[in-house]
Structure 1
Amino acid sequence: MHYTNSQMKLDQLIGYFNGKKINLIPPFQRGHVWKPEHRKRLLENMVAGRPIPAIFLYKEPAGSTFEYNILDGKQRLESLILFIGSNRKDMNVAGVKDYFFSEKERSQIHFQIEVDGKKTMFKNLSDEVVRDFREYAIPTIEIDLDDETSLDEIINLFVDINQQGEKVKRFDIVKAIGKKNKLLSSVFELVAQEQIRKQDKYFKPKNTAYSRVLDKLQIVEAASDPSQKVDRMWERLFELVLMNRTGKHRQPNQILKTFIKVEKGDDSHALAAAEKRKLQRVFAFLDVSYDETPLGESRLARDLPHFYTMVTTLLSSELLDAGGAAPDYPNVRRKLLAFSKLIKEGAKPPKSQTVAEALSEYMGAAAKQTTHPGRRTTREQKFLEILDTL
């Protein structure tokens, strides 16, 4: 994850509001929680030229519905909208009421602040004060996702930067994400369950084939906190579900944008019954195989690039259809065990030149840039080629 420190003048920010280019309600955000006194204090500081905390933004690619998603600073921006309103020609926010739906929120439009010992609304400020106010520079931090960014990292960031005022809990963030996206929610339910300890709520892994199989991954096993473990399981499973649904490999940072912005499409509707049956068949097979054979301790089960390829191949091919009786599928199990020996550390190269070349290509695609869609496709193709010979 990369961070760019910058500034945005208030006049420019108002232009974004009027152009509907800032999304104030992406999945991470909660409802309106600031009290009037918090809003007044913020605007009094800004009118006086005092500094305020930075706003965290996620910038969308060109051509997107929104130019920015707000990750932190929602209450500050809403306070600005309420204060400025639309009663001045030289500076106003068009369609103020479009941002607020309850009468309680709308009643705060054009609220008063104290300036030079007197209470006043924005429309009554002098032209000189407004001129200086519109030049006010708000510190901003733009966040960019790289190939190594994880859902776990994004949630941790959001928890850390939202510790001003009413604190945000990890539980609330995860609930908010799932509420916005039915697919995320239905995938989450496959691996997680809600727990209550005194006044605290949190998630922990369910005892299911999904969680047992995913827990073998080194990246999941390394998480000491149950909530963090759930996040890593959720993210891995969501990636597999999307591939199964669309037939396309994606880079994780493209998938993670689903967690930040709100868009309808393949990523949004809940798991269908047929999708669940297909997933359940694969994970039930792996669960039994891990328990009864050394497969669960192999690189296919432990290393993410190999695991991803194994599962997506099982989902997208007809291997299990011709693999013998469910849930063991002995023919497929035998092939996977044989493949796991080929990629074991220190394994001897295959005697067959054809298999050796295919394995070399597979291992090359599993060694670097492992999440690139092209490399994932190469691994899947070579994986199937090699399995056919075993």
Structure 2
Amino acid sequence: MKDFVSQLDRETRKVDFDSFDISVKELVSMSDEGIIDIAPEYQRQFRWPKENQSKLIESVFLGIPIPSIFMAANKDGSWELIDGVQRLNSLIHFVGNKEQLAKFGFETPLILSGLDVLSEYNGASFNDLPQTLRLKFSLRPLKVTTLSDKSDLKVRFDLFERLNTGGIKLTDQEIRACVFRGRFNDFISEL
């Protein structure tokens, strides 16, 4: 046991986090201004199809908690994205102005599709929505967890690896159990 504690002490890296609630508008603005580097060299590419992006937008509208976006602070005060590239790019794709869309590689704004709860907004872009909804969405706070610049540099790569390699895809039945609740699904589970 003593050897384990000694080894743990030698291998423990300094980890220091800060947590923030940052509005959608501010996250997009920070990305546009280069305060947030959304594409550090180790970051994966943006891959979400429009339906996934639309589901995220619907979740933000509904106030459904979405996972924290993880950043790392650099010595110059800027941040780099560790986890959340799909979410942050989806937000930019939805609310970004013409220049922001071009800067982040989007030819056109996101047109919502596949919404279940807010289905009346299928086919709408951000600018098609009433001003009150645009304002509500823009000011919606999201959780951002930032690894401070006091932390060891290697911690950000460890964090990226752990956040992006631990997931296991749900089985078809696990998805059905969530989506189609009721007596029939209970029967299938019993079988």
TM-score using structure 1 length? 0.35
| Higher gyration radius (CA) | 1
Query: Partner of 2:92 in structure 1?
Result: 81
1:108 and 1:162 mapped to 2: Cα distance? 29
Query: Partner of 2:185 in structure 1?
Result: none
Q: 1:131 to 1:160 in 2, by over 3 A?
A: same
Structure 1, unmatched stretches of 5+, are 88-93, 101-105, 168-390
SS at match of 1:29: coil
Q: 1:80 is matched by which residue type in structure 2? A: L
The Cα of 1:20 is off from its aligned counterpart by 2.6
| 1:57 aligned to which of 67, 71, 88 | 71
Query: Partner of 2:81 in structure 1?
Result: 70
Does the aligned pair in 1 maintain the 2:83–2:160 contact within 8 Å? Answer: yes
Aligned positions of 1:1-390 closer than 5 A: 1-62=15-76, 67-86=78-97, 94-100=99-105, 106-107=106-107, 109-113=109-113, 114=115, 116-118=118-120, 119=122, 120-146=124-150, 149=152, 151=154, 153-163=155-165
1:116 and 1:34 mapped to 2: Cα distance? 20
The Cα of 1:140 is off from its aligned counterpart by 0.6
1:150 and 1:10 mapped to 2: Cα distance? 27
Count of paired positions: 151
Structure 2, unmatched stretches of 5+, are 1-14, 170-191
- Higher helix share goes to which structure? 1
Does the aligned pair in 2 maintain the 1:33–1:166 contact within 8 Å? Answer: no
Deviations 1:95-149 (A, max 9, x none): 311212xxxxx356332243632212111111111121122111010102547x3
Q: 1:165 to 1:95 in 2, by over 3 A?
A: farther
2:146 and 2:125 mapped to 1: Cα distance? 31
The Cα of 1:46 is off from its aligned counterpart by 0.7
Q: 1:166 to 1:29 in 2, by over 3 A?
A: farther
Q: 1:130 to 1:25 in 2, by over 3 A?
A: same
> Percent sequence identity over matched residues?
23
Q: 1:14 to 1:164 in 2, by over 3 A?
A: farther
2:127 and 2:165 mapped to 1: Cα distance? 33
Q: Which has the higher contact order (CA 8 A, sep 6+)?
A: 2
TM-score using structure 2 length? 0.68
